[in-house]
Amino acid sequence: MLNLPDLSELSSLQKDDLIRSLWPLQQKVQDLTSQLAELQARLNLNSRNSSKPPSSDGLNKPVPKSLRVAGQNPTGGQKGHIGSTLRQSANPDKIVVHGVPTLCQACQKTLPPAYVAEARQVYDLPEVKCEVTEHQAMRTVCSCGHVHTGEFPVGVTATVQYGPRVQAAMVHLNQNHAVPLQRTAVLMEDFFDLPVSQATVVKAALAGAEILQPTVNDIGQAAVSAAVLHADETGVRVDKKLHWLHVLATDTLTWIGSHPKRGSEAFEALALLQQFHGVLVHDGWLPYKALECLHALCNQHHLRELTYLLEEQNQAWAGDMIELLTKANHMDNLNCADGKTPDYNSETYKTEVGGLRNQYEVILAKALAENPVKPPTGKRGRTKQSKATNLIVRLLDYRDDVWRFMTQAGVPFTNNLAEQAVRMPKVKQKVSGCFRTPEGSKTYCVIRSYCATMHKQGANIFESLVAAFQGSTPQLNYG
């Protein structure tokens, strides 16, 4: 490090030269300080204060911190919640009686008829083993020479083949529960004493996807006919390249599709979102906003961004906005309790919502004064703004979409339905690493769409897959 020279020995001319040489460095120091702050801010981003997925947190996961107000609800199960525990069955499959002797052990008298003093039940699995059924087609020849041959059942086409329950089990494990091919084969042998190859598991998945494709097409059409639809997308690796899984979800339906592109090109190729004219709930990504429908922004994303601004940048207005949005969500939940729909046209309700929105405008006006929009620099492209400014401008420009959950029936506060639909595909990606071919990706999307929809509709997924392989896919509720 250079020592500071004795300034008293410098002439006025020399001091002026020194100032001129150092003055340009002032801007560089400011720029470097700004870049350092931005890089530090990126390091502080996590799944709690941004849109980053929890899987990106690694082992350094943020400490959970609820946005709920302390004391609103008691701890533990809430009033009216039906617990789930192991209970005795009213109709046990087997009864083992543990009797008493016929004579009294004390006086040797004959004992009266015994009664059930206590019953204890043990839930267990029966021994499961693969069952081989041989179909024999009989043949006889009439004296006139005509040959009569018995017919095999529908679906029995090969000398040796796997039945619908075996195929459904392999698809359920590998596709729906993300168990790798090799481990699926091992589990089939361990559970059912049925050794199968990895190729057999793949073949079952391809057959299942072919059977279920028409049903999944119907799911997609029903989804875009809904009044409120949730949409999201997530990246996956397919054949060593980045592809995208696109998700559409309602309370009763889940549709997943795969495409190499993320935006409007994928929307056009998948040919569903252009048909939608209801309320689309999403995270504010620009291609969604270009669709000709009403929009509702996910406020959980806003709460995460506001949490970052409050905790990492000490912006007090962000805390006020968190409190306001959380309060509005709580009020909406109370209004919609027990399945009741609030009267959105009543003067009382409009006044209530109007008061909240006035507070919203006041908070954002204060925030914009503290984080003004930077004027154009004259350079090509948009002028780079801070995270706070970008969020403020978005909340102002799309204020009606932010508050859609309070002004239109059936619109939720968050986009959780779509985000939940992408969780299992992310698990599949973490387990398998990638899809080797586009066909494998599409196969997974078809089967996962069907299984997720059946789960939402309260059906047994395994039995639904069995029915599909038997040629009688269960009738779905598309309403």
Quick one: angle between helices 461-469 and 198-223, nearest 10?
Answer: 100
pLDDT in tens, 362-397: 999 999 999 999 888 888 888 888 889 999 999 999
Q: Give residue 475's pLDDT.
A: 83
Range of the domain at 358: 299-375+383-414
Q: Is residue 403 part of a domain?
A: yes
* Inter-residue contact 468 to 172 (CB < 8 Å): no
Q: Give residue 337's pLDDT.
A: 59
Q: Is residue 101 part of a domain?
A: no
- The total number of structural domains that make up the chain: 1
Q: Is residue 366 part of a domain?
A: yes
Q: Give residue 282's pLDDT.
A: 96
Q: Which helix (H) or strand (E) holds 266?
A: helix 264-270
pTM: 0.83
Q: Is residue 279 part of a domain?
A: no
Q: Give residue 59's pLDDT.
A: 63
- The Cα 267–Cα 286 span in angstroms is 13
Give just the sign of the alpha carbon dihedral 455, 458, 463, 464.
negative
Q: Is residue 252 part of a domain?
A: no
Beta bridge partners of 103: 110
Look-up: residue for tokens 């990638």?
A: 434
Write the DSSP string, 347-358: HHHHHHHHHHHH
Helices (H), 379-437: 387-397, 399-402, 404-407, 416-421, 423-432
Q: Is residue 17 part of a domain?
A: no
- The Cα 256–Cα 244 span in angstroms is 10
CA neighbor of 293 nearest in space, from 241, 228, 357, 339: 228
pLDDT in tens, 388-404: 999 999 999 999 999 99
Q: Is residue 335 part of a domain?
A: yes
Q: Give residue 55's pLDDT.
A: 64
Q: Give residue 84's pLDDT.
A: 76
Q: Give residue 271's pLDDT.
A: 92
Q: Give residue 72's pLDDT.
A: 62
Q: Is residue 85 part of a domain?
A: no
Q: Give residue 40's pLDDT.
A: 77
Low-confidence ranges of the chain (pLDDT < 70): 1-2, 4-5, 52-61, 63-74, 76, 335-340, 479
Q: Give residue 134's pLDDT.
A: 95
* Inter-residue contact 256 to 445 (CB < 8 Å): yes
Q: Going along 36-131, which residue ranges are E strands?
A: none
